[in-house]
Amino acid sequence: MADIVLDGVSKRFDDGYEAVKDMDLEIKDGEFVILVGPSGCGKSTALRMIAGLEDITEGELRIGGDVVNQYAPKDRDVAMVFQNYALYPHMTVRENMAFPLKLGEVPKEEINPKVEDAAKILDLEQHLDRKPANLSGGQRQRVAMGRAIVRDPKAFLMDEPLSNLDAKLRVQMRTEVARLQKDLSTTTVYVTHDQTEAMTLGDRVAVMRSGVLQQVDTPAELYQRPRNLFVAGFIGSPAMNFMPAKLEGATVKLPFGDVRLTDEQRRALGDRDGDVIAGARPEAFEDAALVGEGRERGQTFKAKVDLVESMGSELYVYFPIESERLESKDLDELAADSGAADVPGSDVNQVVARLDPASKVQRGEEAEIWLDTTTVLFFDPQSGERLGAEQR
């Protein structure tokens, strides 16, 4: 067990492409850190550099205080779980899990008890003598985990370990991974492009974008106080709604109408005035008829409902807002990554609201919607930075 420190780590490939740019990240002993970002953001490259499968172009990587830049993977004492599990097909489950121990020259009589222990933890005991080809996806995934935990390494590195499982199993294994990590309290770096996994698993989440670390924080911090438009748009599902806004003294002009800023909001914004981008989470909206206390915190407006999606426990209500399209590189990139840019009609400004299932809102009808304006965040349209992010 050990801490992992990335100190100004960069990766430049031979063709000049810079996959990771000057990355600083401190992972404490026993901590569960998630690297998350859209595909091609450099998160996997960062993980592979920690594993030693990729050379570090610049900067320093320390595991447990030792600079390991020049160490071969085998000398770093880390275990990795691969996206496709990378089980050795010619070995049984038992041999697969014993492989790292054998290479580590663990005495023979110690190997079997260790493998059996790991198999017990992962509920693989009855499969020990089977070959990977005869296992289900979930079982293979557990064998891959078993191979990692069996030798009690300094750190676990996981590269999208759940992405090959079907949705239901993925949720199940997610809790399994979380429980395992808590029980073993081994430092873990986990790469995923799935923000739900990131939010539910990590002690801290590191959001990356085109090789640059955007923000490292607890899931709650990331959700409530994203540093910029990209983080705000990436974290949360359905995503945050963005709309043009204009700050004028103590009021802000939103497409829904003018809203008075709270003192706290105004203070955070400093003396900023003029055009900004406002962001509201879907749950900041509510059916006006259902808002009881705290109504004065928000703004009520009328909207024509395009679509109602019922999830049972909540309603997703889509309605258009009358405003110009937002011009922002961050938002374009997010849309491109999720594929939303290719969906027809995506250039219409649409807002998704998460309402209480008791709401009587109907598709095609005009509804009265309430927005909790105290939770609205403001971003600089040019830099994408959240206004007031520095002094929090």
Partner 1 sequence: MKRGTREYTLWSIGLFVILAASLIPVIWIASLSLKAPATIGEGGFFPTEWTFDNYESLFKGGLDSPLLRPLINSIVIALIATTIAIVLASFTAYAIARLEFPGKLLILGGALAIAMFPPISTVGPLFDMWRNLGLYDTYAGLIIPYLTFALPLAIYTLVAFFREIPFDLEEAAQVDGATPLQAFRKVIVPLAAPGMFTAAILVFIFCWNDFVFAISLTSSDASRTVPAALAFFTGESQFTAPTGNIAAAATLVTIPIIIFVLIFQRRIVAGLTAGAVKG
Task: Using alpha carbons, select from 145, 140, 150, 231 the residue that is nearest to residue 190.
Answer: 145
Q: Looking at beta carbons only, is 90 or 295 nearer to partner 1?
A: 90
If the CB atoms of residues 50 and 124 are measured against partner 1, the closer one turns out to be 50
Token pair of 79, please? 């275990």
- Chain Cα centroid distance, residue 269: 27
With respect to partner 1, which residue has the nearer C-beta, 159 or 286?
A: 159
Cβ at position 153, least distance to partner 1 in Å: 9
Contacts for 171 with CB less than 8 Å, ≥ 6 apart: none
Nearer to partner 1, 78 or 231 (CB): 78
Nearest distance from residue 69's CB to partner 1, in Å? 16
Task: Supply the minimum distance, in Å, between the C-beta of residue 229 and partner 1.
Answer: 35
Instruction: Say if CB 97 and CB 88 are below 8 A apart.
Output: no
CB-wise, 184 or 212, nearer to partner 1? 184
Q: Please, what is the minimum distance in Å from the beta carbon of residue 68 to partner 1? A: 13
CB under 8 A, 24+ apart: contacts of 254-258: 254/278, 254/299, 254/371, 254/373, 254/376, 255/321, 255/322, 255/323, 255/349, 256/299, 256/301, 256/321, 256/371, 257/299, 257/301
d(C-alpha 296, C-alpha 307), whole Å = 27
At 68, which amino acid appears? Answer: V
82/318 with CB nearer partner 1: 82
Q: Least Å distance between CB 152 and partner 1?
A: 13
CB atoms within 10 A of CB 280: 21
Residue 101 CB, shortest distance to partner 1, in Å, is: 9
**Chain residues in the site for partner 1 (CB under 8 A):** 51-53, 72-74, 78-80, 82, 84, 86, 88-90, 99-100, 103-104, 147, 151, 157
